[in-house]
A and B are shown apart, each in its own frame.
Chain A
Amino acid sequence: MGLLFDIFINPFVEMASGLDFLLQVLWEGFVSGTLYALIALGFVLIFKASGVFNFAQGIMVVFAALTLVGLHALGIPAFLALILAVAIMALLAVTVERVVLRHLVNQPDIILFMVTIGLTYFLIGFGELVFGGDPKSMITEELGLPTGSTVFDVFDGIVILQHLDVAAAVISAIMVAGLAVFFNKTRIGRALRAVADDHQAALSVGISLNQIWAIVWFAAGIVALTTGIMWGAKSDVSFALQIVALKALPVLILGGFTSIPGAIVGGLIIGMGEKLFEVYWGGLLGGGVEGWFAYVIALIFLLFRPQGLFGEKIIERV
């Protein structure tokens, strides 16, 4: 009886009796959700273009952030370092396309997936060789990102809004919206969808597969750089940051691997859901539950929509 009370009554009593804290939890969940959506977007872009889960997305986050910080450490002004980091991500995209992907057109997806695993380990080794393994500080203030916080007195309590979190949410939202428009409303976006459907058919109507792949890898690189800046500012810039990319997996399961709106909505559901569960129900299970609870949320949704919230429903007729 006590357990049922702790599961079904007590958490809601806690929510009602501490509305300021509930607001804080929802805000933190929203910020995390936008960042998860951003990470997931990097995966979605490449999956849409090539049908491949890009295992290297996590290390691209680290590599992009380290490039930015490393260039700044050489004395290059922050904004110039940012531009150069973007250029290096473009170079990486072109190199991946020229050296690797071009030779694997129309190969089974598993081959391309294995290639992204190889690319991951190459970037880990190359990154450690160039930048070393020491954790580095993100150049938050130099990039003009706000620091500090604002405290709001609400419901007889306080809600603390970190300016960096506000910036992270706004920038993530702009990035997600911009990429959604770019890939849904432009010619390149249509070409991207054609490539995703069938490589050979896309080639036959004059779409340059190589160009599309380079563009999506570059876009994924930009997403990685943005993620690296935001997450690096919240923590530090080290190779451990690649683990953060794993947070995208339940988002992708929930939102669908091919849907940009799915990544957004999935990110928000996972972000807010895991925070609520961790804070109000986590204690019943000893805490530290948000890591796996994200997958529980995703699996519950999959029971009703196996293709994910916005994934394409595949009907194969015999």
Chain B
Amino acid sequence: MLKKLAIGAAALAMLGAAQVSTAQAEDTIFIPSLTYRTGPFSGGGTPFANGFADYMNMLNARDGGIGGAKIVLEECETAYNAQKGVECYEATKGKGALVYNPLSTGITLQLIPKAPVDEIPVLSMGYGLSAAAVGEKFPWTFTYPTSYWSQMTSILKYIDDNGGLSGKKIGFIYLDLGYGREPIPLLEQLAPQMGFELAMFPVAGKEMQNQSSHWLNVRKENPDWMIMWGWGAMNPTAIKEAAKIRFPLDRFIGNWWSGAHADLNPVGEAGKGYLAANFSGIGTDFPALQDVIKHVIEPGNTQTDPGDVGNVLYNRGLFNAVIVAEAVRAAQAATGKVAVTGADMRVGLETFNLSEERLAELGLAGFTAPIQGSCADHEGQGSIFIQQWNGSDWERVSDLITPMTDVVGPMLQAAADQYVSDKPDWQTQTCG
């Protein structure tokens, strides 16, 4: 009996070894996906993670991966907790991780110093540390397609184009965390320059669903416009409270994390008129989205509810995957390798070109503004557009709005200099 068991075990071990060698023979690229499908912010984290995973799975199903390399995607649950995010990073970096998409400013801030040490770039797409846009000071961190500061200037331009900014009072309600506080230095600098008065309304994390005091203060201050840097349950609560005090919702603009279907579906008709920034297309009328439906959603190889495909955060997660995939292609082209490394990926992120022609080739014409990877500029200075809630869905109501690069550029440079000033060993680079 023991002899039979030993033979069986040996046979299994040989079979296992054969399978491992087969897997190793195939070129693969390993992309960790830090997700939060649980916890208080899972309402936003889940559709984003689904969009990211579905696009990668579509590339595997339709094209056999990227440039001949099969994508191995591994999700690690962070629950939007910075400590868990770092644990996920440490647990996956040794598997050949190409790039980290932390999906949290808190986690991003933790990973920025680790990236040059482990030579794995961080792509905090539209979030994280705005100063990381300065590529010479942050060779390993990217914020494509734009940064929080750039986004804020685009929002201010929208307000300026719709009634003027000078002499107005702008209210800023924000989640009182690193993420929410990120644009405050910019606002404080721009207020006197552009001639507007600033009123700030911080919302503590545990008060997200208890904002009546904050909106009483808004009523007292009586701002002309409100701008929101919210996330999760803070968003629908704020919009309901704004409607409650009869603040005109067409003068209330959320940033791109405060304008998802998950935010407005609980509000419904009461949120009609509310505005939000966005940089990724809405809906499924894009060939790339149709390919995702055909190759991933319809066969059932997904965690996505079919009704969520095309929603704001789903499409943003998908767009994140598009940038990663394009950077992988650029890295493969630059190095001649199929199975690229994290260091190669950094080169890819500085050289990819998501032009209008390339977007059309990818089946994403009109989905977003073109982005050109660059050594010096790690944010891409991307444009945003404004969308409006019609009571049941989002509608795009503006053209692309470019950021005030002349204003933001020097501030980003100063913030980047400040960041590295007390870090004598910080790795920088010189861009030609």
B237 cross-chain contacts in A, Cβ below 8 A: 234-236
Query: Which of A21-29, A82-90, A109-117, A175-183 touches B?
Result: A21-29
A162 touches B244 (CB 8 A): yes
Asked if B233 is at the interface of the complex by the 8 Å CB criterion, the answer is: yes
A243 touches B236 (CB 8 A): no
Asked if A134 is at the interface of the complex by the 8 Å CB criterion, the answer is: yes
Asked if B392 is at the interface of the complex by the 8 Å CB criterion, the answer is: no
B203 touches A288 (CB 8 A): yes
A287 touches B42 (CB 8 A): no
B203-225: CB near A (< 8 Å → 1, else 0) gives 11111111011101101100000
Residues A241 and B209 in contact in the complex (CB < 8 Å), given A134-B42, A135-B43, A287-B217: yes
Question: In the complex, which residue of chain B has the Cβ closest to the Cβ of A124?
Answer: B38
B233 touches A235 (CB 8 A): yes
B213 touches A290 (CB 8 A): yes
B202 cross-chain contacts in A, Cβ below 8 A: 286-288
* Complex Cα–Cα for A242 and B41 (A): 12
B15-35: CB near A (< 8 Å → 1, else 0) gives 000000000000000000000
Number of residues on chain B facing chain A (CB within 8 A): 40
Interface residues of B in 205-262 (CB under 8 A from A): 205-210, 212-214, 216-217, 219-220, 232-233, 236-237, 240, 244-246, 262
Partner of A236, one of B46, B219, B266: B266
Asked if B310 is at the interface of the complex by the 8 Å CB criterion, the answer is: no
How far does the Cβ of B316 sit from chain A's closest Cβ, in whole Å?
16
Residues A32 and B212 in contact in the complex (CB < 8 Å), given A135-B262, A287-B217: yes
How far does the Cβ of B78 sit from chain A's closest Cβ, in whole Å?
13
Asked if B82 is at the interface of the complex by the 8 Å CB criterion, the answer is: no
How far does the Cβ of A299 sit from chain B's closest Cβ, in whole Å?
18
Asked if B378 is at the interface of the complex by the 8 Å CB criterion, the answer is: no
A278 touches B233 (CB 8 A): no
Asked if B164 is at the interface of the complex by the 8 Å CB criterion, the answer is: no
A134 touches B216 (CB 8 A): no
Partner of B244, one of A160, A275, A286: A160
* Complex Cα–Cα for A231 and B208 (A): 12
Asked if A246 is at the interface of the complex by the 8 Å CB criterion, the answer is: yes
A239 cross-chain contacts in B, Cβ below 8 A: 38-40, 42
Asked if A279 is at the interface of the complex by the 8 Å CB criterion, the answer is: yes
B206 cross-chain contacts in A, Cβ below 8 A: 243, 246, 291
B46 touches A160 (CB 8 A): no
B217 touches A238 (CB 8 A): no
Asked if A132 is at the interface of the complex by the 8 Å CB criterion, the answer is: yes
A239-280: CB near B (< 8 Å → 1, else 0) gives 111111011000000000000000000000000001100110
Asked if B302 is at the interface of the complex by the 8 Å CB criterion, the answer is: no
Asked if B427 is at the interface of the complex by the 8 Å CB criterion, the answer is: no
A236 cross-chain contacts in B, Cβ below 8 A: 43, 209, 233, 236-237, 266
Residues A279 and B213 in contact in the complex (CB < 8 Å), given A235-B240, A240-B41: yes
Residues A21 and B46 in contact in the complex (CB < 8 Å), given A160-B244, A244-B210: no
* Complex Cα–Cα for A162 and B363 (A): 47
B208 cross-chain contacts in A, Cβ below 8 A: 235, 240, 243
Interface residues of A in 114-138 (CB under 8 A from B): 124, 128, 132-138
How far does the Cβ of B198 sit from chain A's closest Cβ, in whole Å?
12
A288 touches B43 (CB 8 A): no
A32 cross-chain contacts in B, Cβ below 8 A: 210, 212
Partner of A128, one of B38, B209, B266: B38
Asked if B37 is at the interface of the complex by the 8 Å CB criterion, the answer is: yes
B40 touches A136 (CB 8 A): no
Asked if B265 is at the interface of the complex by the 8 Å CB criterion, the answer is: yes
Asked if A306 is at the interface of the complex by the 8 Å CB criterion, the answer is: no
How far does the Cβ of B179 sit from chain A's closest Cβ, in whole Å?
15
* Complex Cα–Cα for A244 and B209 (A): 7
* Complex Cα–Cα for A247 and B176 (A): 18
B41 touches A24 (CB 8 A): no
A158-177: CB near B (< 8 Å → 1, else 0) gives 00101000000000000000
Asked if B400 is at the interface of the complex by the 8 Å CB criterion, the answer is: no
A160 cross-chain contacts in B, Cβ below 8 A: 244-246
How far does the Cβ of B408 sit from chain A's closest Cβ, in whole Å?
25
Asked if A282 is at the interface of the complex by the 8 Å CB criterion, the answer is: yes
B220 touches A279 (CB 8 A): yes
* Complex Cα–Cα for A279 and B202 (A): 13
A128 touches B233 (CB 8 A): no
Asked if A95 is at the interface of the complex by the 8 Å CB criterion, the answer is: no
* Complex Cα–Cα for A146 and B218 (A): 25
Asked if B286 is at the interface of the complex by the 8 Å CB criterion, the answer is: no
Asked if B45 is at the interface of the complex by the 8 Å CB criterion, the answer is: yes
Asked if B367 is at the interface of the complex by the 8 Å CB criterion, the answer is: no
27 A-B contacts, Cβ less than 8 Å apart? A21-B220, A25-B216, A28-B216, A31-B212, A32-B210, A124-B38, A133-B37, A133-B46, A134-B42, A135-B232, A135-B233, A135-B262, A135-B266, A136-B266, A231-B209, A234-B209, A234-B237, A236-B237, A238-B42, A239-B38, A239-B42, A240-B232, A278-B214, A279-B217, A279-B220, A288-B202, A288-B207
10 additional contacts (CB under 8 A) given A160-B246, A287-B201, A291-B204: A128-B42, A133-B37, A160-B244, A162-B244, A236-B43, A238-B42, A240-B40, A240-B209, A288-B202, A291-B206
- The interface of chain A, by Cβ under 8 A from chain B, is 18, 21, 24-25, 28, 31-32, 124, 128, 132-138, 149, 160, 162, 231, 234-244, 246-247, 274-275, 278-279, 282-283, 286-288, 290-291
What 3 pairs between A and B have smallest CB-CB spacing?
A: A133-B42, A240-B40, A236-B266
- The interface of chain B, by Cβ under 8 A from chain A, is 37-43, 45-46, 176, 200-210, 212-214, 216-217, 219-220, 232-233, 236-237, 240, 244-246, 262, 265-266, 268
